[in-house]
Amino acid sequence: MSEHIIDHYANQIPILPGEYLPAYLARLRKMTCGIEPRRLMSFSGSTQMGKLHQLFPRVASCFAYRPSERERSGALLQEHLGARYWRGFLDERAYKEHVQQVNLKVKSKRSIFDGEELLDSLKPMKFCEHCRDDDIDRYGTPMWHAAHQVTSLYVCEKHRVPLHQFSMEPDKTLLDYPVITNFVAAKSASVQADPLRTWLDVASKQLLKIRTIHNRERIKDIKSDMARAFRAKETPYTMRVNIEYRNAWRSYAADSLNALCPNEQCFKFFLARPSLGLTQQLKQNAPVRHPLIFLLAMKFAEDMVGGNLS
């Protein structure tokens, strides 16, 4: 099989250790500006990179699962897309189906988790000032780190300082900011820890430490613990949870999302979806709609009944 042009350039300009994959693709595209984008991007079947900053963007799936990368697709997604944070929330069959569909249907806009478009505002680009200085010294490139982009992670694990957040203008994408330029650094601000962010940060790092198969088992156990905590009654067909818990969950989730992103008005509407109700978070066979929603349900359970689920 002849080498695809993306392989040629990916060898010449390799991804840096821990670099965020969507940002790397944007950087690669910028550094090969003499190459027609249609040729460079044809591995993904489209010149458009699409929505880059999702948990598992289409272009990242096409890049990681291209023929020359098959041997290390999983490792690549783990190091460069924080895959352990989200992959344990899907069973292997659902994951493989998603990859297959996305890679076949070049125009698929399907997100791997429901509601990503609405939670977008919770995902500014993030970086650590110290890591940025280190990367400039070491590589000459102030790259975006994959670990820092995990939705509910707020503190650099290496330097133990709050991450800086940078919100792109509505008409801009990562293609405009492939690295952390001085402009980005000047427009960013660090977000101080509060109890909710600290809890989410710890829970997110825990997910990143554990292999996907073990995360899957752990999530099953947590679902059972939560169901017990809320005295949920599960039959093969239904699950019953006290209405007071269910109502309290909706307002807790709306308040938490608003606290994490005060400008967003649509969370109440978003959380009215049946798939985001408390019952759905407890059922073993219901798919998790978004890791962040599940983490909030865990925190809610801990607050309501006391104790530690993680």
Residues 131-134: contacts with CB under 8 Å, at least 24 apart = 131/156, 131/158, 131/159, 132/180, 132/185
Taking CB under 5 A as the criterion, the residue among 4, 51, 159, 283 binding Zn ion is 159
Q: How far is the CB of 131 from Zn ion (least distance, A)?
A: 3
Q: Is 228 in the site for Zn ion (CB under 5 A)?
A: no
The nearer residue to Zn ion, 109 or 130, going by C-beta atoms, is: 130
Q: Does position 214 bind Zn ion by CB under 5 A?
A: no
Pairing of strands 125-127, 189-190: unpaired
- Site for Zn ion contains 156 (CB under 5 A): yes
Q: Is 222 in the site for Zn ion (CB under 5 A)?
A: no
Which stretch of DSSP H or E encloses residue 181? none
For position 138 contacting Zn ion by CB under 5 A, the verdict is: no
Q: Residue 104: is it exposed, middle or buried by C-beta count within 10 angstroms (0-12/13-18/19+)?
A: exposed
The closest of 110, 112, 102, 108 to 82, measured between CA atoms, is: 112
Nearer to Zn ion, 190 or 310 (CB): 190
Nearer to Zn ion, 18 or 37 (CB): 18
Nearest 5°: CA angle at 178, between 172 and 183?
A: 70
User: Cβ(226)–Cβ(298) under 8 Å?
Assistant: yes
Which region among 23-31, 43-51, 56-64, 154-162 touches Zn ion (by CB under 5 A)? 154-162
Helix (H, G, I), strand (E, B) or coil at 212: helix
Per rule CB under 5 A, count of chain residues that contact Zn ion? 6
Q: Is the separation of the CB atoms in 254 and 268 below 8 Å? A: yes
CB-CB contact of 245 with 278 (8 Å): yes
131 versus 174: smaller Cβ distance to Zn ion: 131
Nearest residue to Zn ion by CB is 128
Radius of gyration of the chain (CA): 20
Check binding of 130 to Zn ion (CB under 5 A). yes
Closest distance to Zn ion from the beta carbon of 54 (Å)? 24
Among 131, 155, 207, 219, binds Zn ion (CB under 5 A): 131
When asked if residue 147 is in the footprint of Zn ion (CB under 5 A), the reply is no
The Cα 116–Cα 114 span in angstroms is 6
Q: Does 25 contact Zn ion by CB under 5 A?
A: no
- Which residue in 39, 158, 220, 231 binds Zn ion (CB under 5 A)? 158
* Of 145 and 299, CB closest to Zn ion: 145
Minimum distance from residue 169 beta carbon to Zn ion (Å): 26
| Position 240 contacts Zn ion (CB under 5 A) | no
User: Restricting to residues 90-129, which ones interact with Zn ion according to CB under 5 A?
Assistant: 128
| Lookup result for tokens 């994951």 | 95
Return the structure tokens found at 23.
């940002």
Tell me the window of 110-118, 131-139, 258-266, 294-302 that interacts with Zn ion (CB under 5 A).
131-139
- Specify whether the CB–CB gap between 249 and 268 falls below 8 A: no
Which parts of this chain interact with Zn ion (CB under 5 A)? 128, 130-131, 156, 158-159
